[in-house]
A = this chain, B = another copy of it.
Amino acid sequence: MQITLPNYSITFGALPNISHKGKVLIITNPKIAGLHLQFLLSKIQANEVYCLSLQDGETYKNMQSIELILESAFNHRLDRNSLMIAFGGGVIGDIVGFASGIFMRGIDFIQIPTTLLAQVDSSVGGKTGINNQFGKNLVGLFHQPKAVYIDTHFLKTLPKREFNAGIAEIIKMAICFDKDFFTSLKTTNWEDSKNLLECIYKVVSIKAQVVREDETEKGIRAALNYGHTFGHIIEAQSGYGHYLHGEAVSIGIVMANTLALRLNLITQQQYQEILQILKQNNLPTTYKIKDITTFYQAFFLDKKSINNKLKFVLPKGIGDFIFKEDTSKDLLMQILKEFQE
C-alpha cells in the first residue's frame, strides 16, 4: 500500500530495502536501537552508515539535540548527497527533520516511525521543530521527507501507554474529518494487525489529503491542531514528559469540546460520545489548571495566534470542524474555570 504526495511516497507494510549512493546517518534512541537497529541495518545498502543514539523524550526535543546531530554529521563528513534517517517516535522525527533541513542548507531525510503516534501523525507532512521555554514546536521549518515507511512490526514492542497516546491522534482525525470512521473506532480491535494497519492507512490518507491542499498551513491544515492549542499548554505547564503528547491532546480535545458545547457546535450527547471513546482507550480526560490567567496568556504564544487574535479548531458535530477566531476572553476564562484546580 502506498500514498503519494507531491514530492514523496508513504509506504505501508514490511520495511523494504533502502539503498543510497552516499553516506547515511541513522538517528534513533537507545531503546529503539536496542530493539530494532540490527533489523534496520540489515535493510540498508549505502557507502557508509553511521548511527547516533539520542536520549528519548520530549524534554530532549531541543536545540542541544539539534547541535548533537549536526556535530555527528560534520564529524562523519556527511555532505549534500548524504541521507539522514529518523528511526523512532515523533521526537526523533521532528528533530531529524529539522537538523537535516539546516545541515548545509538542507539534505534528504527518511522517516521510519516506530510509534503509533508518529505513524499516524508526525511522520507525515514535513513539519519539523523543537520546543523551547516559550512552548512546543515554536522553532523549526517545513522540510518534507524523501520517503516515509510505515511498518506496524515496530509497534509490537511499543508500551501500551504510548500506543494509547497514538489512538488520541486517530480519534482527533475522525472527529474533524470522518463520522463513519469515528463510529468504526468504537469497535476497532487494536490487537488485530490487519485492523490496525487499515486504521493507520485511513488516518494517513486523510492527513495526506490535507497536506496536499495546504502544505505550509495557510488554511485547512490548521484543523489538525484540534485539541493541540490546549494540549500544548498542558504539556508545557506540566513539564514536558509528564504527559505523553497524545495524552495532552486527549485532554485538549475535552477542553476544546467544552468550548464547542457552550457554543452549541456539538450536543451534550456528542460531547459524551467523544469523552467515552477517549476513556475507553485509557486516555486522560481531566486536568487541574493551577492558574487560569497564566493558562489564558499562553494561548497567545500559539503559532495559530495572529495579531493577538486567538484561533481555535472546534468540532462541528462529529466529522466536521470550524475555525473559531472571535472567542471572548470572558468565555474562555469561564471554560478554563471548569478545569480550575
- A22 surroundings in chain B (CB, below 8 A): 306-307
**In contact, B307 and A139 (Cβ under 8 angstroms):** no
Count copies of this chain in the complex.
2
**In contact, A101 and B141 (Cβ under 8 angstroms):** yes
**In contact, A307 and B79 (Cβ under 8 angstroms):** yes
* Given A63-B63, A70-B132: A142 and B106 interface contact (C-beta under 8 Å): yes
Closest to A138 in B: B104
**In contact, A105 and B74 (Cβ under 8 angstroms):** no
Complex alpha-carbon distance, A47 and B139, angstroms = 24
8 Å CB contacts to B: which residues of A293-311? 300-301, 303, 305-308
The number of residues on chain A lying at the interface, defined by a beta carbon within 8 Å of a beta carbon of chain B, is: 38
- A303 surroundings in chain B (CB, below 8 A): 79-80, 104-105
Q: Is A246 an interface residue (CB 8 A)?
A: no
8 Å CB contacts to B: which residues of A126-150? 127-129, 132, 134, 137-142
Can you list 25 A-B pairs with a CB-CB distance of less than 8 A? A22-B306, A22-B307, A70-B132, A74-B134, A77-B301, A77-B308, A79-B305, A79-B306, A79-B308, A80-B306, A81-B306, A81-B307, A101-B141, A102-B139, A103-B138, A103-B139, A104-B138, A104-B139, A105-B128, A105-B137, A105-B140, A105-B303, A106-B141, A106-B142, A141-B141
Using CB atoms and an 8 Å cutoff, list the residues of chain A in contact with chain B: 21-22, 47, 63, 67, 70, 74, 77, 79-81, 98, 101-106, 127-129, 132, 134, 137-142, 216-217, 300-301, 303, 305-308
